[in-house]
Amino acid sequence: MSRIGRKPITIPSTVTFTNDNGKVTVKGPKGELTAKLNPHITYELKDGVLEVKREDDSIKNKMNHGTARAIVANMVEGVTNGYSKTLEIKGTGYRAELRGKDLVLFVGHSHEDIVHPLPGVELSINKLEITVTGIDKQVVGQMAAMIRDVRKPEVYHGKGIRYKGEVISLRQPASAKKQAGGK
């Protein structure tokens, strides 16, 4: 049996969980999330603890057991606490600003880059940090990846947009290698 799938999910008193033949809905103080999951996965809610079980040991049900449990756990966490990702802007003259809800990036291109936020995501800027917040973990991660793709960190100086805490291993330029080796 799946190790992840066996773990029970604690449902806070402020959260309601419903399952309608594979259509799972979780409502909480921050909002409501719905996901269409495998209908052969069953959910048992007793005393604020949700257990995810599968009907049989078929290969498809085994594959989906842990995945369904992880998705539901992320939904419960999202509607209670929410998710956020922080990105850092590194580079001389690089900056970001908000125009309405749109994010405008000035990151060394000849033009400004405009990123439109996905539904259910909020963006905020504090100096050279962009914070993406929302209740859906997948959408928050997707939005952060879209912002990072505008100007990925380059490997020689580390300039660009990176996740907070991301380590970029810098390369030595070819001209420096030649001088050091004497060739």
* 3-state DSSP assignment of residue 114: strand
88 falls in which pLDDT band (50, 70, 90)? very high
174 falls in which pLDDT band (50, 70, 90)? confident
Of the candidates 115, 105, 100, the one whose C-alpha atom is nearest the C-alpha of residue 146 is: 115
Average pLDDT of the residues in 77-92 = 96
Contacts of 117 (CB under 8 A, 6+ apart): 101, 102, 103, 123, 143
Average pLDDT of the residues in 10-30 = 94
Mean pLDDT in the chain?
92
pTM: 0.88
Say what angle helices 137-150 and 59-80 make with each other, to 10 degrees: 80
Query: CA distances (Å), 91 to each of 48, 135, 157, 160, in order?
Result: 49, 31, 9, 6
